[in-house]
Structure 1
Amino acid sequence: MPLRAKVASSVSRTAAALSRAAGKGDGSVIGGWIGLKIDPELLAHLANGRSIALVSGTNGKTTTTRLTAAALGVLGPVATNSFGANMPTGHTSALAKAGRTPFAVLEVDEHYLPQVIEATEPHAIALLNLSRDQLDRAKEVAMMAQLWRATLIRYPAIRVVANADDPMVVWAATPPAGPLRAERVVTWFSAGQRWHDDSWVCPECGSAIERSGEDWWCAGCPLRRPRPQWVVEDEGVLDPTGAWHKVQLQLPGKVNIGNAATALAVAAEFGVRPTDAVSRLGTVTSVAGRYAQVVRDGRNIRLLLAKNPASWLEAFDMADEAPTLLSINARDPDGLDTSWLFDVDFAPLRGRQVLITGDRAYDLAVRLDVNRVPFQHVRTFREAVAAVPPGRLEVIANYTAFQDIRAELDRVN
């Protein structure tokens, strides 16, 4: 690297280490921020010489990135932003900290995908899904699909691994008819998509999207579900040869088998055989604190992150039939608008003990009352633990509420 980049990289590592030592966080943002101030091209310099995979989408990025890094580890050391800092500052910090690894797997915020593609020149990109998220400041889903589509048109040589079940992703990953379509290599995976409320209208022509079982098609133009090469089937994954691989994860829910299928598909783009990679997926036990289990006062507490309607639907699928604490904040990282709560069907929680807390607990209370779900309001996490019997306590929280509860558990430690 140029001398300026070497200095920036060294300062980035030092700043991140000081942040961790001072207890101000993991350093995954401040280190990259300072490094990029010294050398605005630092991310490109750090990416040079590595074979890189990018993972982007509204939901599942952090988990899929962690699983992909585990799968790609068959080939050698892999740099990754494992704490979920998914903007260029986080990517810069992760690559600077890792040193000269031959591979990198980076989670990328969907808004920043064009910028990170330009800086890192990835070998492959995984496109997971697109749904509503923080609409008080973020793009509408169709606008995000358009951004992705326009970006990928400029990079026809990049291998794309994309979700065949999401019409918005399919449209974004499929180039317009012509020479570019023949050049683009797209590998399709099917992990199932239970959330359909952001893809009723075709992004190409505006006609209705029709559905029958797993299949979907546009009523007014040729856009339709492509045939996937990687498919979740039962407790495993079918690869493009038709071979079935049992997936044994320590992470809950069918959605994570879908994330595992994506990871195997991405790793295959680097030449990793699924038979070599599948056993490594089971080594992932917690992802940036998500799915972590902690025992406190006879309660086995499991932490689940849910940030928008689609991810709350999956969180209910993961959670056991046990007392459940819901925590909602509306601070800047969460998005300030909580109206999305009315897009979540909380009916699956009926019949279990439900507790609510967080800055916006009263917004959640109104929603649960409309959904006829009885609940108990608690002011602190400690009060919630005391209010449930010994055994499992499921905790489902959005971003900052999740971090508040993690911090509370750390203080108890």
Structure 2
Amino acid sequence: MAGNMAPGPDSLSPRAKLAVTAGRTAAAISRAAGRGSGSVIGGRVALRVDPDLLSRLAGHLEVVLVSATNGKTTTTRLIAEALRAGGKVVSNALGANMPAGITSALSGGFDARFGVIEVDEKYLVSVAEDVRPKAIALLNLSRDQLDRAAETRMMAENWREGLAGTDAVVVANADDPLVAWAASSCPTVVWVAAGQMWKDDAWSCPSCGGVLQRPGDDWFCEECGFRRPMPTWALSGDYVLDPNGTAWPIRLQLPGRANKANAASSAAVAAVLGVQPEVALERMYSVAAVAGRYDVVSHLGRDLRLLLAKNPAGWLETFSLIDGPPAPVILSVNARGADGTDTSWLWDVDYTRLAGHPIFVLGDRKLDLAVRLEVAGLDFRVCEDLGEAVRSAPAGRIEVIANYTAFQDLRRQVGN
């Protein structure tokens, strides 16, 4: 598979070179000060010096963009692993998914063939205009960060209008009506039957507002005729069905139905870039954890599995991972800037699915969560810190479920 010739840093304009250097310097200072990886501040500084730097850095790459409410980081990682069969990949693997973080990531990819980029839903259209992707993966849309994110139909409309003229092959989840409506304006779409467990944001037709009918796995609107597109790729149990009807086994270390769905979409994306399903899926097996998600760590003599859930759809998928005997569960919720400060979404989560599990509650908004659990009729204990929760938990591996900044707090505490 012949790739584009990587230009190397010397091919950049003097201004772009200065921007890259300034960004790397700012990132290094941030890391030295203990303020994180420095990718965001580095990208901001670089873009301040050269506002067109992102498009310049992406010029030699075959770019894949991945956007969704849930599963972006994991799917980005799976696609990146698959495409390494065809050449070197640069990716924002740690999830800095706005223009600054993306710019910072691409500044290290002068010798790469592929760029696999996770993009925040609100920035997808503008980033696509800058980097001219070969493929765009659209996985799902649901409510998230209610204080600052657009209503889901508004987000779908932004995608629909902004991507209407794209040259990219759009790989879209046919089972999510909002995604299907957004992608149906694009010239070239590969439809994947990836499933949709959370349906509470897609009961009305995004095209006309009518009530969607949902017989079995199908969906359609009786009022305007908008309906589920016919998929050419499909998740079927532990297999991915390709356009020829061939069933390829999914063997992942990552748990759960949602990650099989991510693998199905990733295989379809990889095929667009020339990597066959058998090779792509085999390479995905190497992914055991993604930025700490799904890691099992030892803390205070106990095994803890770290699970990230940021919104109602994510919590529903995460609960499905907790099976077998009633394992102790630690729940931690914050409401900082990166989480969204509105915690009303807690009332959309069906916490009764944790009935029978010993539950321990942490985080900045532990009392908000405690009220929600009280109304759900669950037994739980509010704890001051992780140590108290771990020491109070009965025997067995502890499942730890946290939203974004709470998850990062817990990773620091367990040294992960």
List per-residue Cα deviations over 1:236-269 (Å, max 9, x = no partner): 2111111111111111111100001111111111
Is the 1:161–1:186 Cα contact (8 Å) retained in structure 2? yes
Aligned match of 2:107 in 65, 72, 96? 96
User: Is 2:174 aligned against 1:171?
Assistant: no
In structure 1, what is the equivalent of residue 295 of structure 2? 292
In structure 2, what is the equivalent of residue 161 of structure 1? 171
In structure 2, what is the equivalent of residue 341 of structure 1? 346
User: Is 2:237 aligned against 1:234?
Assistant: yes
In structure 2, what is the equivalent of residue 13 of structure 1? 24
CA distance in 1, matches of 2:315, 2:181: 25
Question: Which amino acid is 1:58 matched to?
Answer: T
In structure 1, what is the equivalent of residue 9 of structure 2? none
- 1:29 match: secondary structure: helix
Question: Which amino acid is 2:220 matched to?
Answer: W
In structure 2, what is the equivalent of residue 250 of structure 1? 253
Is the 2:300–2:387 Cα contact (8 Å) retained in structure 1? no
- 2:399 match: secondary structure: strand
Distance 1:18-1:283 versus aligned 2 partners, 3 A rule: farther
Q: How far 1:171 moved relative to its partner?
A: 0.6
Aligned match of 1:400 in 381, 399, 405? 405
TM superposition outliers: structure 1 runs of 4+ over 4 Å: none
Question: Which amino acid is 2:126 matched to?
Answer: Q
List per-residue Cα deviations over 1:257-308 (Å, max 9, x = no partner): 0001111111111111011111110111111111111012331111111111
User: Is 2:217 aligned against 1:218?
Assistant: no
Question: Which amino acid is 2:379 matched to?
Answer: P
- 2:214 match: secondary structure: strand
In structure 1, what is the equivalent of residue 136 of structure 2? 125
- 1:224 match: secondary structure: coil
User: Is 2:198 aligned against 1:187?
Assistant: no
Is the 1:28–1:83 Cα contact (8 Å) retained in structure 2? no
Aligned match of 2:199 in 174, 196, 200? 196
In structure 1, what is the equivalent of residue 393 of structure 2? 388
Question: Which amino acid is 1:226 matched to?
Answer: P
In structure 1, what is the equivalent of residue 8 of structure 2? none
Task: Indicate the percent of aligned positions where both proteins have the same amino acid.
Answer: 55
CA distance in 2, matches of 1:25, 1:318: 30
Question: Which amino acid is 1:170 matched to?
Answer: A
Aligned match of 2:212 in 209, 213, 217? 209
In structure 1, what is the equivalent of residue 384 of structure 2? 379
Question: Which amino acid is 1:353 matched to?
Answer: P
Aligned match of 1:29 in 10, 32, 40? 40
- Normalising by structure 2, report the TM-score: 0.95
CA distance in 1, matches of 2:111, 2:41: 21
Q: How far 1:206 moved relative to its partner?
A: 1.1
List per-residue Cα deviations over 1:327-350 (Å, max 9, x = no partner): 011111111111111111011100
In structure 2, what is the equivalent of residue 367 of structure 1? 372
Is the 1:10–1:96 Cα contact (8 Å) retained in structure 2? no
RMSD: 1.2
Question: Which amino acid is 1:231 matched to?
Answer: A
Question: Which amino acid is 2:230 matched to?
Answer: R
Is the 1:299–1:389 Cα contact (8 Å) retained in structure 2? no
- 1:55 match: secondary structure: strand
Aligned match of 2:91 in 80, 89, 102? 80
Is the 1:327–1:396 Cα contact (8 Å) retained in structure 2? yes
Per mean C-alpha deviation after superposition, the further-off stretch among 17-26 and 228-237 is 17-26
List per-residue Cα deviations over 1:84-135 (Å, max 9, x = no partner): 0000001100011233311100000000011101110001100011110111
- Normalising by structure 1, report the TM-score: 0.95
Q: Where does structure 1 lack aligned partners over 5 or more consecutive residues?
A: 176-180
Is the 2:298–2:414 Cα contact (8 Å) retained in structure 1? no
List per-residue Cα deviations over 1:138-175 (Å, max 9, x = no partner): 100110010000011132x2110000001111111112
Q: How many residue pairs align between the two structures?
A: 403
CA distance in 2, matches of 1:301, 1:326: 12
CA distance in 1, matches of 2:163, 2:201: 22
In structure 2, what is the equivalent of residue 272 of structure 1? 275
- 1:79 match: secondary structure: strand
- 1:355 match: secondary structure: strand
